[in-house]
Structure 1
Amino acid sequence: MAPASYIEDTKDEHLHVENAFYDRGYVPDTPEEKKLVRKIDIRMLPMLWVMYILNYIDRTNIGNARIAGMATDLSMSSTDYSTALSIFFVGYLLNEIPSNMILSRSKPSYFLPATMFTWGCLTIAAVGVNSTGGLIALRFFLGIIEAGFFPGVMFLMSCWYKPFELAKRLAIFYTASLMSGAFGGLLAGAITGNMDMVGGVRGWKWLFVVEGIATVVLAVVAVFVLPDFPHSTNGLTTEERALAILRLVTADTQGTPLTHKQAFLQAMKDKKTWILTVGYMGLTSAGTISYFFPTLMVSLGYSGTQANLMTAPIYVCCLVVCVAVGFSSDRFNEKPYHIAGCAVVSAISFLVTAFVSNSALRYTFIVFGGAGIWSAVPLFLSYALQNFTNREQRAVSIATINGLGNLASVYGSYIWPAASGPKFIQGFCCTTAFVLVGGAATLFNRWMVGDLSIRTAEQDAADEYARNTSTAHPDQKVEKMDV
């Protein structure tokens, strides 16, 4: 989350405006605050959602390219393909924390689009790849560049939303990855099926070119749409900027601000960081099945363009279930048991898939298994945010959880060797174990820290008291908090 120095600098720069709000006192849920949140939502969420769609497409289109002729043209073995997948996450881990550090000292409206523009150019560059080594090198640098996007988005959203506002919006943002899976399969089928050898270029290369160009164009548009931080963004009045700052400062539950070194050491010593890291590693390892969906469709009897198209319904179903589970979690103000429930459904589904032979039945349970994974992941991330009340430590802990969690995809990419097809028992059994680790780690953390929803209920009661006090006594102020 935003460092204490950022809040201090913000206070100094806008002290004359903030004093007016301090004199009034901060009252939650005023019409002015609701209007501000709606304004932030409209400006930020749709653009970030579309950007994430292209981010996920550019990351996972290698699976569609593989069955469209890339593996044959580059003489790739099953191990070569797994290496091309896993090397991406090596670069991703190396640059995730440095990217967030750069973002915190730059303008998000420039940094995030610049990151997107660069990975779009790298995607287009795949047209020049003619060997397995070239593909692996390209994937490594693509991982380095894309590392700045997802944690950067989490950081930016945390600078605008209160903790209990962030979970729902993060879940909505995450559905973009599911939409990209559905749209990506349809797009891949259309491009590789209709553009093969156009201009003498193979269809799988056109796939990278077309999607890369779309990414570059959207990156340019994003520069003019995305906001920066509350104290520096344009499009807000001076009063709106001050309110955006004060509502986050008032909602913050941390004590003494920590230096970067103190936050790092505190995060490393906190058991929750490592328990949740293990849980997220389990879920992301299970999630590597998405890179093999086209291959699994081939094992079910589909081929070529049809195999790519058959991946789309999987993601559509996952999106619907993810949203439904997210609303259920908010309705009951509970996350750990929802996460564990999704893990169990996914585990049962993959076990059934591994040991039955009927293609229609296997396809159905692949859908159920995927829905379990991608319903659990956004819930897990929002649950992880709840576990760290200090802003500086939260930044380090979440970066660690997300970074090491994605590193799990390195070994997760090797559990689906071509030799294990068409049943892929090894892959489905390992995925079952991974998703159960994610659910078990979540429940263990819940047992260790207790019910975090109790703290949220207390905060809601305090906000309600503040609103009632303000209504009953218009001249009475809610006590201001030190920044």
Structure 2
Amino acid sequence: MSTKNEVFKSEAAHLEEAAFSAGYVPGTDAERKLVRRIDMRLLPMLWVMYILNYLDRTNIGNAKVAGMQTDLKLTSNDYATALSVFFVGYLLNEIPSNLVLTRSRPSIFLPCIMLLWGSITIAFMGIHDLGALIAVRFILGCIEAGFFPGVMFLMSCWYKPFEMGKRMALFYTASLMAGAFGGVLGGAITSGMEGVGGVRGWHWLFGIEGIATVVVASLAFFVLPDFPHNTKFLTGEERALAVLRLVTAEGSKPRLSHKEAFMSAVKNWHTWLLTVSYMGISGSGTISYFFPTLMLSLGYTGTMANYMTAPIYAAALVVSVCVGYSSDHFNEKPFHVLGATIIAGISFIITATVPNDAVKYTFILFGGCGIWSAVPLCLSYCLANFKNNETRAVAIAIINGLGNTASIYGAYIWPANSAPSFTLGFACTTAFVLFGGICTVINRFCVGDLSLRTQAQDDEDEEARNAHQKGAEGKAVHDDAASV
């Protein structure tokens, strides 16, 4: 086995030497082929994983209306506590999870997380009281905490900043697909499996979706790549190109310890400005929890109220991908975020002030498109602000973790007694989304245009690539000498 590894390493070194000796020229056919290969290996798997991630955290809502609230004798406050405790665990474990990811293999770490949360979802079948519900929801939050920021960190290790916009948008469409069809799937399972084997339908909902998660997690072990320097599905030459095209002066510095990375992210005030920005945009997204309620206020009843939410998600899916492609084409994100938030804000103002129900529905749809275009763009812009891998892992965990606290306070801005106008909800949502967009642009003016680096930065990055190239060539020569 050791001889085989030595032969493999020697062959890889020769391929790396050939790649580095030619120098790095951006936009070559070889690089485009490499990026396409990465896309096909990485994005579909992550997309499916995120659909199940979203379903497993939100299926409690489907279970509630399918009999869970009655069976567990839950009050409104009990249910709100069960919802909120998930995000407590989520917030507490995001930073530790991402720090572990920087020192581990994503092809093992992310599927293991998925395997654990799938098993915990299956464990919901054994819940028969409020205490168990709260405990399992808390554990589920702790486990799921590492997935979304871990995916963002992994993608940032494979793609350049101007390649991230459309890919983050494509990845984020998984949550829109889950939102559009999760209710239909939940209804089909809870009604079709009601009483089978003497088990309630809402118990089967958790069991079936949990089993699906475990199956996909098992496949992910064999599909997901690791980091560019150690992934197995690329040739040595492709690995060399994947590493070299992302080498920067900052990224080539020695790795930070966990403590150093944490302090670096915490002391960087951009972390906190971007956190506030994402909290605003994410906070406006809590309107999605109340789409069925809003449909009822527009005169739709029963199942039709749920069905009428699907076009909103479908439209948001298309628009968010188009906006993501535009941001990459123009190599610009902050103003795209601002534009999307302005569209959302204006749409909700019109919704709250115009009496016509058809107009209200149309602008709720426009508002949803604005929010869900801004969310993935905001996150990909956040990634571009931190060059060092370890610092970026901590910063994105802070931003995403605190941003998700919006799901706690956002649930209280849509009180039932404000129907049918829901003035408080639309006013807060408008304020949240516009505030988030403005903060993103403030950060843009503070750090400058990230797509137009200064000549000094370009020179430093080029020097880093040259140093990396010389190091690879020296290693190849040393290996040749050793073999002789």
- With normalisation by structure 1, the TM-score equals 0.85
Among all aligned residue pairs of Structure 1 and Structure 2, give the percentage whose two residues are the same amino acid: 66
Superposition deviation, residue 305 in structure 1: 4.0
Q: 1:193 to 1:263 in 2, by over 3 A?
A: same
Report the counterpart of residue 425 of structure 1 in structure 2.
423
**Cα distance in 1 between the residues matched to 2:131 and 2:237:** 55
Unaligned ranges ≥5, structure 1: 1-10, 467-477
Alignment of 1:263-412 (within 5 A): 263-355=261-353, 358-412=356-410
Asked whether 1:244 is paired with 2:242, we answer yes
The residue that corresponds to 1:58 in the other structure is 56
Matches within 5 A, 1:133-172: 133-172=131-170
CA-CA distance at 1:479 after TM superposition: 4.2
Change (3 A) 1:76 1:191: same
Whole-angstrom CA distance in 2 between matches of 1:29 and 1:21: 15
Seen in structure 2, the aligned counterparts of structure 1 residues 166 and 326 have a Cα distance that, compared at 3 Å, is closer
Q: Distance in 2 between matches of 1:20 and 1:340?
A: 45
Q: Is the 8 A contact 1:107 1:228 kept in 2?
A: yes
- Structure 1 distance, partners of 2:391, 2:256, is 9
Mean Cα deviation higher: 295-304 or 219-228: 295-304
**Which shows bigger deviation, 164-173 or 413-422?**
413-422
Counterpart contact for 1:185–1:310, Cα < 8 Å: no
Q: One-letter code of the match for 1:259?
A: L
**Which residue identity is paired with 1:132?**
L
Whether contact under 8 Å (1:116, 1:219) holds in the other structure is yes
Inter-partner Cα distance in structure 1 for 2:454 and 2:317: 27
Write the letter of the residue equivalent to 1:393.
Answer: T
Q: 1:123 to 1:321 in 2, by over 3 A?
A: same
Q: Shift of residue 90 of structure 1?
A: 0.9
Point out the more displaced range, 108-117 or 155-164. 155-164
Cα separation, 1, equivalents of 2:343 and 2:106: 38
> Cα gap change, 1:425/1:208 in structure 2, threshold over 3 Å: closer, same or farther?
farther
Cα distance in 1 for partners of 2:10, 2:80 equals 51
Q: How does 1:224-235 map to 2 (within 5 A)?
A: 224-235=222-233
Query: CA 1:107–1:450 in 2, change beyond 3 Å: closer, same or farther?
Result: closer
8 Å Cα contact 2:16-2:236 kept in structure 1: no
2:440 to 428, 442, 450: 442
Quote the offset at 1:438 in angstroms: 0.6
Q: Which amino acid aligns with 1:169?
A: R
1:51, CA displacement in angstroms? Answer: 0.8
Closer, same or farther: CA 98–314 of 1 in aligned 2, 3 Å: same
* 3-state SS of paired residue (1:452): coil
Separation in 1, partners of 2:416, 2:69: 12
Change in Cα spacing, 1:418 to 1:202, as seen in structure 2 (3 Å) is farther
Contact 2:164–2:328 (8 Å) recurs in 1: no
CA contact (8 A) 1:258 1:392 kept: yes
Query: For residues 115 and 456 of structure 2, what CA distance do their matches in structure 1 show?
Result: 44
Q: Contact 2:162/2:331 (CA < 8 Å) preserved in 1?
A: no
Match in the other structure for 2:97: 99
Trace 1:169-180 onto structure 2 (pairs within 5 A). 169-180=167-178
2:27 alignment partner, SS class: coil
* Separation (CA, whole Å) in 2 of partners of 1:173 and 1:442: 21
Separation in 2 of the partners of 1:229 and 1:385? Answer: 16
2:21 aligns with: 23
- Measure how far apart 1:14 and its partner are: 6.6
Partner of 2:180: 182
Question: Following the alignment from structure 2 to structure 1, what is the Cα–Cα distance between the partners of residues 353 and 64?
Answer: 26
Match of 1:453 among 451, 466, 477: 451
**For residue 179 of structure 1, what is the amino acid of its counterpart?**
M
CA displacement, residues 306-330 of structure 1 (integer Å, 9 cap, x when unaligned): 4433322221111111112222323
Tell me the CA shift for residue 20 of structure 1: 4.0
Give the secondary-structure state (helix, strand or coil) at the position aligned to 1:248.
coil
Deviation at 1:32, TM superposition (A): 2.6
Structure-2 change in CA distance of 1:70 and 1:284 (3 Å): same
Tell me which residue corresponds to 2:256.
Answer: 259
C-alpha deviation, 1:118, in angstroms: 1.5
Aligned-pair CA distance for 1:88? 1.1
Structural RMSD (CA):
3.1
* Count of residues in correspondence between the two structures: 459
What is the identity, as a one-letter code, of the residue corresponding to 2:35? V
Give 1:218 shift. 1.0
Runs of 5+ unmatched residues, structure 2: 1-8, 472-484
Name the structure 2 match of 1:47. 45
Cα distance change of structure 1 residues 97 and 226 upon mapping to structure 2, 3 Å threshold: same
Partner of 1:472 in structure 2? none
TM-score after normalising by structure 2? 0.85
Letter in 1 for 2:322: A
Whole-Å separation in 1 of the counterparts to 2:10 and 2:419: 63
Taking the aligned partners of 2:297 and 2:171, their CA distance within structure 1 comes to 32
Distance 2:72 2:294 in 1: 21
C-alpha contact 1:85 1:413 (8 A) present in aligned 2: no
Distance 1:321 1:116, change over 3 A: same
The 3 A distance-change label for structure 1 pair 88 and 257 is same
Partner Cα distance (2:47, 2:338) in 1: 26
Cα distance change, pair 404–12 in 1 and its aligned pair in 2 (3 A): farther
2 CA distance for matches of 1:20 and 1:158?
Answer: 26
Which stretch of structure 1 is more off in the superposition, 39-48 or 193-202?
Answer: 193-202
1:48 aligned partner, one-letter code: L
Cα deviation for residue 226 of structure 1 reads 1.2
Mapped to 2, the partners of 1:134 and 1:303 lie a distance apart of: 34
* 8 A Cα contact 2:74 2:130, kept in partner: yes
Instruction: Provide, for residues 120-165 of structure 1, a one-character-per-residue CA deviation record: whole Å limited to 9, x for no partner.
Output: 1222222222333332222211111111111111122222222332
**What is the CA–CA distance in structure 2 between the aligned matches of 1:130 and 1:356, rounded to whole Å?**
46
How many Å separate the matches in 1 of 2:40 and 2:468? 29
> In the superposition, relative to structure 1, how do residues 39 and 362 fare at CA in structure 2: closer, same or farther (>3 Å)?
same
Show the counterpart of 1:222.
220
Q: Secondary structure at the match of 1:231?
A: coil
Change (3 A) 1:381 1:321: same
Supply the distance in 2 between the matched residues of 1:183 and 1:343 (Cα, whole angstroms).
Answer: 25
User: Which digits, 9 at most, give the CA deviation of each residue in 1:423-480, with x for residues without a partner?
Assistant: 43333322222112211211221232233333399999999xx9xxxxxxxxxxx945
2:20–2:240: 8 Å Cα contact kept in structure 1?
no
